[in-house]
Structure 1
Amino acid sequence: MEDELLAGRAFGEVYRVQGRADMHDFLLRAVEASGGRVLYASGPERAPIYLGVQLDSDERIGMLIYPFRVTRNTIKNRPDDEVRGQLRYGSEDSWTRDHPIGRDIAGVDVAMILGIDLADGVILGLDANLWDPLPMGISFYAKEAEIDQAKRTGWHVWEKINRGGNKRTEARSPTNLETVVAFTPVRLVDYARLERRATALRLDPPLRFAAATAMADPVLPDEPQHRHVLEKQFALTSEQILDIIGGRNRLSVAVRGGVAEYHLEQQLTGAPGIASVQRLDVDAMHDFDVTLDDGTFLRVECKNASPKVSAGGAFKVEVQKTRASKGDPASRFYAADGFDVVAACLFSPTGRWEFRFGRTADMARHKDFSDRLAPIQTITDGWTDSLQAISR
């Protein structure tokens, strides 16, 4: 194990490497192509590579890049239509110990784990939160179709299934999914911004996917970085606000409910068959008024499904209020005619912002209050994956 200085600073372990000058040159050209100017670059014989970058707006970014070569070598028992990279630094004898990536505790420099596909001129960005420490000897793969999409658009985001294997018994991600971003050199600075934000906010794979998708269009070099109104109002940074949310269970649950409502509204608005969507923010009311193209009016309540499935593998959703009114135990349970549809968000059990829609008229009633819905509803085959389908 060797600790060296890069750019006059200690970033943890620095590896001696050979035959990587082509990737080093590629990254230097990518900085220029993405609107940056290289102020400093560590040499090609060491990994990671440190690049000090200045933009036309005078913004400066320190990039600590762990580059790995992407190839098209034929691998036994692997599909022919994919590319492969392998995490290889140091001797194989050292691969059994941890290899943490370098982190800047001040959040100024950003660490990136990149697969470099020189043949196609495409860069694969791996989630630095999930791939730290570096699992040396492990390979990562991408379909050629994903690479082709990145070449066409310059920025391509997708989710891939992550499972345990021989060297790692558990999945790297608790949701069994990870977000991958493939991009061309002109988007390197944009990816550095994404990774810096994802690292600072500790974005999980679904939120990383949303953040990366939102960056499909390039960021203008001189675009100002505005603070959110809540950051100004609370006199806190976005990271501090998220730390407060993450450290308080009730607050976290409430925010997760609001996030589910946001995703539901985004999916319904403009969807085929839906004429209008109105979000309500009124106590004791359902969440949305939705009108379909055929004139059908639906009152929709959004709920988060339970992270635990039933013994038979079915999803479940809790349909009850937080507390009952004093002296009225039935008030904790929703009236069966209080809304028409429950939209159950499946993020908790699946890691995806998907919904299942069920009619309240078909739902189980409370065992003691026949005009109320049972607090736990099983998401059966009768639930649909679109609101439009529920009216058919």
Structure 2
Amino acid sequence: MNPFDAHKNILSALEWKSYAVSRSDKEPLLAFLLRALEMRDCRIVHASEPNRAPFYIVFDTPSGERQGVLVYAFFANSNHIKNRPSDEHRFQIKYGGNLKGILEVAVDPQNLVTTLFLGIDTAQGVFVAADPLMNTPAPMSRSIEFKRDHVDLIQSDGWAVWERDRRPGKSKDRPTADLEDFRTEVLVGGKQDRLLDLVALERIARGLDPGERHLVADKLKELKPNPKAVSHAVLKEFGIAPEALFDLIEGASRLKMAVRGWVAERHLFDALQSLDGVSECIRLEADGKPDLSLRWKGGAPILIECKNTLRTTYADGRPKVDFQKTRASKGDPCSRYYRPQDFPVLAACLHAVTENWEFRFALTSDLEPHKTCDGRLANMIGVAEPTFSANAGNVFDMYYARAA
């Protein structure tokens, strides 16, 4: 089968909706994307017409690998809006005239076609990208904001990464309120010639928690438009041989495999099952269940939930855990927050901050309660003593003592 035909087959199998858009309005966005790939010596094999969105582009990398991207692209600007900060930039998620519509972002489970979700400032020559999975479903007309300082950082460094708080909309009849992911969002900005690196990021980090996505994006900052300029520090970080440079930048399959090994639950399991005093340790691989169950010193099972910290810490240096579920039960916004009785122990993985597989443990009964949802736990938790301890055994002993 022709590689292009394979891409078309994958695309046709995806459940995705295309939108009629103004050719003259959207043509600059498509031109920006095509030029961005050509700046990295990619050869454009196919590009959809600019009067339909999202855009579909197939291209060959300099090493000959064929890739396809499905791009949800929107204009970013700094037009001043009354009662909004004067330094605010934004892009609005909107196709067509139905401002109450819902955008379902298509993502290929095989990752042969890579989905990008970004705003483009054609005047500044930069893009700002968000995680496609965190933005589906998305209510039409929602905006993603960032600051002038972020644009300046992109212009000076070529690549920038930062975190953005997401909050539920004020509208009570928002149709996607139960389905939206309100965890902290990682935004990635780049100059035009860094678009190929964004493709690599989405192929590598799809489905990772925000903190780990932030860490991968930070590492990709060290990549330069010239593949030969990749630092050996990056290779050492991911345990990749120097001969994999082109694979790292374009196909990224070896890096992807390395990142997929960044599963905090696996490292927590390995650490706890070898701990003196643990008589049983089981991974609970089921939706809606805690991650581990263990017996400490022959006692009753203890359920443990593992959460990655964000990469950005509090001002005082404390790591923080975005402690909420990705979805809420229909009609119950408080259900996205955990209850102490859901599991007794939280294990916070510090890898996104320290780049080491280390954990801090806390009893959920000691965590801060949610300010507005009775019986629920706060959605942002600071990881520090005395609530959290590096000694898991002490926390387990405390749990059994309180349960006695």
Structures share fold, TM-score greater than 0.5: yes
- Conserved 8 A contact 1:151-1:184: yes
Structure 2 contact 201–217 (Cα < 8 Å) conserved: yes
**Is 2:45 the partner of 1:21?**
no
TM-fit CA distance, 1:266: 4.3
Q: 1:117 aligns with which of 118, 121, 132?
A: 121
Q: Distance in 1 between matches of 2:257 and 2:91?
A: 41
**Structure 2 residue matching 1:129: 3-state secondary structure:** helix
Q: Equivalent residue of 1:20, what SS? A: helix
Structure 1 residues 262 and 13: alpha-carbon distance in aligned structure 2, compared to 1, 3 A threshold = closer
Partner Cα separation in structure 2 for residue 170 and residue 74 of structure 1: 31
- Aligned positions, number: 287
Moved more, 126-135 or 98-107: 98-107
Residue 180 of structure 1 corresponds to 187
How many Å apart are 1:99 and its aligned residue? Answer: 2.4
1:31 and 2:37 equivalent?
yes
**SS, match of residue 84 in structure 1:** strand
What is the aligned counterpart of 1:193 among 182, 187, 200? Answer: 200
Does residue 1:212 correspond to 2:198, yes or no? no
Unaligned runs of 5+ in 1: 1-5, 232-236, 268-278, 280-286, 288-300, 314-347, 361-365, 367-371, 378-392
Q: Give the match for residue 345 of structure 1.
A: none
Aligned 8 A contact 2:88 2:146 in 1? yes
Residues 56/228 of structure 1: CA separation in 2 closer, same or farther (3 Å cut): closer
Match of 1:84 among 66, 73, 90: 90
Cα shift at 1:304: 4.8
Q: Deviations over 1:214-257 (max 9, x none)?
A: 211116362455648998xxxxx869998987537217847968
Alignment gaps of 5+ in structure 2:
1-6, 228-244, 267-282, 294-303, 309-345, 372-376, 389-393
Between structure 1 and structure 2, the one with the greater Rg is: 1
Q: Report if aligned partners of 1:62, 1:109 keep a CA contact under 8 Å in 2.
A: yes
Taking a change above 3 Å as real, the CA distance of residues 265 and 113 of structure 1, as seen in their structure-2 partners, is closer
Instruction: Give SS of 2:85's match.
Output: coil
| 1:105 corresponds to which of 89, 102, 109 | 109
Q: What amino acid sits opposite 1:67 in the alignment?
A: A
* Contact 2:363 2:399 survives alignment (8 Å): no
Q: Which residue of 1 aligns with 2:349?
A: 260
Report the RMSD for the aligned CA atoms in angstroms.
4.1
- What is the distance in 2 between the residues matched to 1:139 and 1:41? 27
**Deviation for aligned residue 1:373:** 7.4
What is aligned with 1:356? 384
Q: How does 1:100-249 map to 2 (within 5 A)?
A: 100-167=104-171, 168=174, 172-175=180-183, 177-199=184-206, 202-218=207-223, 220=227, 222-223=246-247, 225=252, 227=254, 246-247=285-286, 249=291
The sequence identity of aligned pairs, in percent, is: 26
- 1: distance between equivalents of 2:157 and 2:115? 25
For normalisation by structure 2, the TM-score amounts to: 0.60
C-alpha separation in 2, matches of 1:164 and 1:229: 32
Q: Which amino acid aligns with 2:201?
A: L
Does the CA contact (< 8 Å) of 2:101 and 2:139 recur in 1? no
AA at the equivalent of 2:367: V
CA distance in 1, matches of 2:194, 2:378: 33
The equivalent of 2:314 in structure 1 is none
Amino acid at match of 1:178: E
Q: 1:367-382 to 2 correspondence within 5 Å?
A: 374-375=398-399
TM-score in terms of structure 1 length:
0.61
2:367 to 309, 315, 338: 309
Between the aligned partners of 2:148 and 2:264, the Cα distance in structure 1 is 40
Give the conservation status (yes or no) of the 8 Å contact 1:35–1:186. no
| From 50, 57, 64, the counterpart of 2:56 | 50
Where 1:188 maps in the other structure, the secondary structure is helix
